[in-house]
Amino acid sequence: MEQLARELLEANAGKVTQNERLAQHTTMKIGGPADIMIIPNGIEGVRKTLELVKKYNTVWTIIGRGSNLLVSDKGIEGVVIKLGEGLDHLEIEGTKVRVGGGYSLIKLATLLSRQGLTGLEFAGGIPGSVGGAVYMNAGAHKSDMSEILVRAHILFADGTMEWLTNEEMEFSYRTSVLQKKRPGIVLEAELELQEGNREEVIALMQKNKDYRRDTQPWNFPCAGSIFRNPLPNYAGNLVERAGLKGYQIGGAKISEMHGNFIVNAGNATAQDVLDLISHVKQIIKEQFDVEMQTEVEIIGK
């Protein structure tokens, strides 16, 4: 690992740290150390990183702004590639948008609404990166990334780069081809929005933000929705009907505000959260005969 860290620094691929505590990089404030973490300084920096990771036959993990993630207490083996500064470029030309995978989704939605562009208002309260949103087809308010993505620039595990069209991304509910068949890193996204009435677009954005603030516990460290909605049911509703709101294991607690959120109520460990997830799955299965699937991505040793 020492030699790989040195070569990453020599390659000028980005900011490199060792034994970086990942709790500092997740919205849940949970997670042990990464052997190596790099914040690439651009697309070429990501490419160089993957090239060196392959040379040393080391495992790698990609993260963005740390939402929708539960990182193991033991941390993550190998190299963690964090997309942020360096992949936060933005170009707007009419209704067409080209944006880096490390760009904040909330920031993008806010900026575009102020320009009177409609189509991304649903993302007003989603605290992730553009890359993460494309990867998991993030959505809310009956819309998602598949509605506006034209194509995505992907760096695949074998080092090849390719633009995938919307169709080639094989989007479905909270899923894309990158999760199912072709693991890769979202370097950039091209989006197509529509011209709208600026005041109406801003008002809808604010309405969506207010709804999230009023119904979801963002005043506590959390990862967002823990479970996928087992349609036609809704995860939060099932948890509430099962009487599990407020249930706590260690420092992990089911929010009293929203049943599909687990919050870090104080020094929670990843194991606390995993135990709570298991408990919820068991109770929902017993009471409603519904198999709950996690939406949060569980990664690490």
Catalytic center residues: 174, 225, 295
Here the tokens at position 189 are 């996204």
How far apart CA 223 and CA 257 sit, in angstroms, is 15
End-to-end Cα spacing for the chain: 16
Please state whether 68 falls in left (phi above 0), alpha (psi between -120 and 50) or beta: left
Mutual orientation of helices 198-215 and 105-114 as an angle, nearest 10°?
Answer: 150
233: three-class secondary structure by DSSP: coil
* Cα angle, residue 216 at apex, residues 211 and 217 outer, rounded to 5°: 140
Helical (H) or strand (E) element with 238: helix 235-241
Rg (CA), the chain: 19
The contacts of residue 164 (CB under 8 Å, 6+ apart) are 151, 152, 154, 177
Residue 299, phi then psi, degrees to nearest 5: -130, 160
Helical (H) or strand (E) element with 203: helix 198-215
How far apart CA 266 and CA 132 sit, in angstroms, is 27
